[in-house]
Each structure stands twice: as C-alpha cells, then as structure tokens.
Amino acid sequence: MNRAFIFDLDGVIVDTAKFHFIAWQELAKELGIEFTEEHNELLKGVSRTRSLEILLSLGNVTKTESEKDDLAKRKNDHYVALIGNLTSKDIMPGASEFLKEAQSKSIKIALGSASKNAPYILKKLEIDHLFDAKIDGNHVSKAKPDPEVFLKGAEALGVPAKHCLVFEDAQAGVEAAINAGMKCVGIGDESILKNTNLVVAGMDKISVEKAIEIIENK
Ligand code: BG6
Ligand code: MG
C-alpha cells in the first residue's frame, strides 16, 4: 500500500511558533491591542492575512486594505529577522530522525504548511531533500481549516487521502486534515488539540511504526 506522511512545519518540525508570537505581539502593542498566548493559539496554522484579520478583530480595530498590506509586511519583516539565525540545530527533537526513518521505509513525505516562508526555513534547516513534495502558503488560496494544502500534498505524492497521516500542532490544521479525509497526529497538548487520532508532546514521542499503524487503523 502507498502511504504518506504530511508534515506541518511551524511547531512540528521547527519551533518558529515563538517567533510568530513575538512578531504579532509587537504589532499588537503598536496598535494598542491586548494579545496573549491564548489569543496566539487562534493564529496558529492560519495564514498571515487571516491572522492579521483575527488580531484586528480582537481589538475591534478597522484598517483599509492597503493599511493591512503594510501591517502584514511589517509583521513579516520582523518575523524574517527573528528567524535569520535558524540552523539545523533548531529542528525539534526527533523530527529529522523520524523523517529519515520514514524515507528509508519508502513512505512518501510531503510538507503541508501555511507559511510563505517555508522554502526559506527548509533551506536554513537543511532538510529540503527529505520531502517528496512541498506545498506551502505560496501554493494555496484557502487557509487551514480548508483542506486544500493537504489535498494538494496528497495529489503531488499520488497517494489517496485515506492513506495519508498529517502531523499538526494547530487546531486549524487538525481540522484541515479531517476535512481532507486524512488521519491526524496532534503535536502538543491534549487539552488544546481535539478530534485527532493521537496527541503526542513532540516528534520524539512517536515511532514510525506507530504512525503506520494509525494509517492502517490498527
Ligand atoms: C503557519 C503558522 O505555519 O504559517 C502561522 O502556524 C503563520 O502562525 C502561517 O501565520 C503563515 O506564515 P507566514 O510565514 O507565511 O507568515
Ligand atoms: Mg504549525
């Protein structure tokens, strides 16, 4: 059976979530909007444009389209500066070992990330070569929880959705996987991630064998 693993990037393979938070928080401060870690959960897995809309609505702030473009650009410039020093040392525990083992077992591997910065980050982490297909924010028009990013990944790999397992740290991403008809492993906290097939604290807490079992419904 052809099987595939589809990986979210931020918060699953690399801990960039903290840099997104810092950059959004800085912008929120400038706009006089209160923005906590709890609010930040709403932005995880969500596109840059949609994240800005959520932030503005938290503070009941209205902006024109061109002002929004400027704010999103400023947030991204700050974020890109924060991730400038990323190296392979920033890969989260267990992630690259898991990817390499899956590759050695001929499981197809795709990236399914909302981030337009994904190509830059993968290059910095030096793990480009571990992916058979890479779908990111530059290739999709509909943000998670829409299943577009994962369905495009499955299509690029030539694997049916029901044989794909998604690894996600955001509830919007878990819902996108379910909407795609895929199984899903949540990476993070059980009290935050709902309706998954399994939640583990990190990629070092799940084996490739266990992941295959989830696809096969054992
Ligand atoms: C997701 C992050 O992976 O990418 C979100 O979880 C982020 O927090 C989104 O907003 C878009 O990222 P970028 O890099 O295109 O601004
Ligand atoms: Mg994520």
What's residue 218's pLDDT? Answer: 60
Confidence grade of residue 19 (pLDDT, cut at 50, 70, 90): very high
pLDDT > 70: percent of the chain? 100
Q: Encode pLDDT of 67-97 as tens digits.
A: 999 999 999 999 999 999 999 999 999 999 9
In three-state secondary structure terms, 46 is coil
Residue 81 φ/ψ region, left for φ over 0, alpha for ψ in the -120 to 50 degree band, beta for the rest: alpha
Q: Is the CB of 48 under 6 A from ligand 1?
A: yes
Residue 51 alpha carbon to ligand 1 centre in Å:
8
| pLDDT for 60 beyond 80 | yes
Nearest residue CA, atom 16 of ligand 1?
A: 48
- Inform me whether the pLDDT recorded for 1 exceeds 90: no
Mean per-residue pLDDT over the chain, rounded: 96
Grade residue 62 by pLDDT with cuts at 50, 70 and 90: very high
Nearest CA to ligand 1 atom 6: 45
Does residue 78's CB lie within 6 angstroms of at least one atom of ligand 1? no
- The residue type of 146 is D
pLDDT digits (tens, 9 = 90+) for 188-217: 999 999 999 999 999 999 999 999 999 998
Q: Looking at per-residue confidence, does 143 or 155 come out higher?
A: 155
What positions carry a catalytic annotation? 8, 10
Ligand 2 mean position, distance from CA 15 (Å): 9
Cβ neighbors of 190 (< 8 A, separation 6 or more) are 199
**Ligand number with the minimum distance to the CA of 8:** 2
Q: What is the pLDDT of residues 125-146, one digit of tens each?
A: 999 999 999 999 999 999 899 9
Taking alpha carbons only, the member of 129, 130, 132, 150 closest to residue 140 is 150
Q: What is the pTM of this model?
A: 0.94
For the Cβ of 76 lying below 6 angstroms from any atom of ligand 1, the answer is: yes
